[in-house]
Chains A and B, each alone.
Chain A
């Protein structure tokens, strides 16, 4: 374990993408995901996955925006460097997001709307890329659901892949 610090430099996970069975087949055949550019994507433009959890990917496919009747979850391996991940679990990224959004609103640059969060994220990604000449490839966020009579949250970890090159392998799909 002497090289554990080296391991921390990488973010490597299995992730699931919820979609229709038809789309899943197309993606597997083409070995290619299309980046979502919908305006209301809450982590900004990208390809959306759930970290290490097929259930939530299927849930999104069935109950989310598209409500697919025949849904599926595509399993992928994601590999990136930790410094390429805009990670809301880390206080620094969390602070950067909220401080930037606060300044944009308080200085009267943008109008306050919930759906602007994804745009604020993409704005930060753009500034980061200009300054560092390298890009943020993944945005990682947590969302928790409360359960009745329990103090525990049912948590999903959402991943928005900004750069498809971090999808190192598409392993296949499973019906939901």
Chain B
């Protein structure tokens, strides 16, 4: 998304870059980035991540610890545990 400095891009280029990012995004990386950015579990629509997140996790009865463990096991990284 940031191939050149943002202030050197036109607004159309910014729109295009954002759309391209979401079209091509790796969902596991996106989930990691959202959680690391501080998004809470209830703010994330787990249905979007489909196969990445099991039905058990995407169910409204999930618990933070369970999600934390799942993400830690599947993606690794300590910041995820903190975020979850």
List residues of chain A with CB under 8 Å of any chain B CB.
37, 39, 44-45, 83, 90-93, 95-96, 99-100, 103, 107-111, 113, 116, 118-120, 122-123, 125-128, 130-132
| Leading 9 A-B pairs by shortest Cβ distance | A123-B37, A122-B37, A131-B2, A99-B18, A119-B39, A119-B38, A92-B6, A103-B22, A109-B48
B34 touches A111 (CB 8 A): no
**Cβ of B1 < 8 Å from any Cβ of A?**
yes
A107 touches B48 (CB 8 A): yes
**Complex interface: chain B residues within 8 A of A39 (CB):** 38, 40
> Of B8-16, B52-60, B68-76, which stretch is located at the interface?
B8-16
A131 touches B38 (CB 8 A): no
Q: How far is the CB of B57 from chain A (nearest CB, A)?
A: 16
Q: How far is the CB of B49 from chain A (nearest CB, A)?
A: 8
Question: In the docked arrangement, what's the CA distance between A2 and B50, Å?
Answer: 57
List residues of chain B with CB under 8 Å of any chain A CB.
1-3, 5-7, 9, 11, 14-15, 18-19, 21-22, 30, 33-34, 36-40, 42-45, 47-48
Q: A108-B48, A123-B33 are in contact. Are A95 and B38 (CB under 8 A)?
A: no
**Can you list 27 A-B pairs with a CB-CB distance of less than 8 A?**
A39-B38, A39-B40, A83-B5, A83-B7, A92-B6, A92-B9, A92-B11, A93-B6, A96-B14, A99-B18, A103-B19, A107-B22, A107-B48, A108-B45, A108-B47, A108-B48, A109-B30, A111-B45, A116-B43, A120-B37, A122-B38, A123-B37, A126-B37, A127-B2, A127-B21, A128-B2, A130-B33
Question: In the docked arrangement, what's the CA distance between A48 and B51, Å?
Answer: 39
